């Protein structure tokens, strides 16, 4: 499979290593230093684009790819206010768009566990809900897309929670997300339910970027022969069936 990388930082390099290991060809590695080469990308030369750039580049990259009718796996966070537009372009041009806030298989299982726990805990309003996330100091957006996805999973399963707030004490209807940026931490996410008498916590800790990179390449392999809009839940459900 021919893969183009939009974004060639640490994640891009990790994705490259996994893709080559799995027998794929990297036909383009594009970042800010050679951004003009993006114009050479087309469905004839690239099977799937993997986009891991930055919040300020992602929207323009994705708009370009959707208008070209390319198949794109995107893992960049911090641009999601324009997600509806990008998905609309994907539908119009019969492209393929696969988005996940986190491509780690473990994290996506954690997303499912989070929803189950939220549903079980919903009747027990004596528990306050807090989420926390820790990432490396180079991560530009906060809270992380993964933390937002976790908060959204809770809201889907607990009608009392209708929104989230970042780094501030939440109101009764809100979920507090607490973000820290420390050293070279790949990513740690925790959900806590705290009452006056006890505390329940679930937690996922990533040890390296390899899990994220593997998931992104797996998504690209899965997306190759598809058109439409997809996410990790689609991939995992198909793998499980």
* Residues with a known catalytic role: 135, 139
Residue 241, annotated as binding a ligand: no
Q: Is 77 annotated as a binding residue?
A: yes
**String of b and e for 104-118 (b: at least 16 CB within 10 Å)?**
bbebbebbeebbebb
In whole angstroms, how far apart are CA 100 and each of 83, 175, 216, 238? Answer: 12, 21, 9, 16
- The answer to whether 37 is a known ligand-binding residue is yes
Record the tokens describing residue 44, joined without a space: 């004839």
* Residue 93 annotated as lining a ligand binding site: no
Backbone CA torsion sign across 180, 185, 191, 195: negative
Alpha carbons 141 and 54: distance in angstroms, whole number:
9
Residue 42 assigned to a binding site: no
- CA gap 63, 78 in Å, rounded: 15
Q: Is 101 annotated as a binding residue?
A: yes
153 annotated binding-site participant: no
Answer yes or no: is 103 a known binding residue. yes
Query: Does the annotation list 91 as a binding residue?
Result: no
What does DSSP say about strands 71-74 and 25-30: parallel, antiparallel, or unpaired? Answer: unpaired
Residue 169, SS3 per DSSP:
coil
Q: Which residues are annotated as a binding site?
A: 37-38, 75-77, 100-103, 136, 145-146
Q: Which residues are annotated as a binding site for NADP(+)?
A: 38
């Amino acid at each position: 499979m021919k893969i183009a990388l939009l974004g060639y930082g640490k994640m891009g390099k990790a994705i490259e290593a996994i893709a080559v290991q799995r027998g794929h060809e990297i036909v383009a590695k594009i970042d800010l230093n050679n951004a003009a080469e993006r114009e050479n990308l087309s469905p004839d030369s690239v099977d799937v684009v993997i986009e891991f750039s930055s919040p300020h580049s992602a929207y323009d990259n994705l708009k370009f790819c959707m208008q070209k009718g390319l198949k794109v796996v995107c893992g960049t966070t911090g641009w999601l206010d324009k997600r509806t537009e990008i998905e609309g372009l994907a539908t119009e041009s019969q492209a393929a768009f696969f988005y996940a806030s986190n491509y780690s298989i473990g994290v996506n299982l954690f997303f499912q566990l989070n929803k189950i726990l939220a549903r079980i805990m919903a009747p027990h309003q004596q528990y306050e809900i807090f989420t926390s996330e820790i990432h490396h100091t180079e991560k530009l957006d906060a809270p992380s897309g993964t933390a937002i996805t976790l908060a959204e999973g809770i809201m889907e399963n607990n009608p009392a929670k209708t929104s989230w707030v970042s780094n501030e004490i939440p109101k009764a209807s809100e979920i507090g997300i607490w973000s820290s940026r420390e050293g070279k931490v790949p990513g740690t996410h925790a959900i806590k339910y705290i009452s006056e008498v006890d505390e329940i916590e679930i937690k996922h800790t990533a040890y390296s970027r390899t899990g994220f990179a593997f998931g992104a390449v797996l998504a690209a392999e899965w997306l190759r022969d598809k058109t439409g809009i997809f996410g990790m839940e689609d991939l995992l459900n198909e793998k499980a069936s």
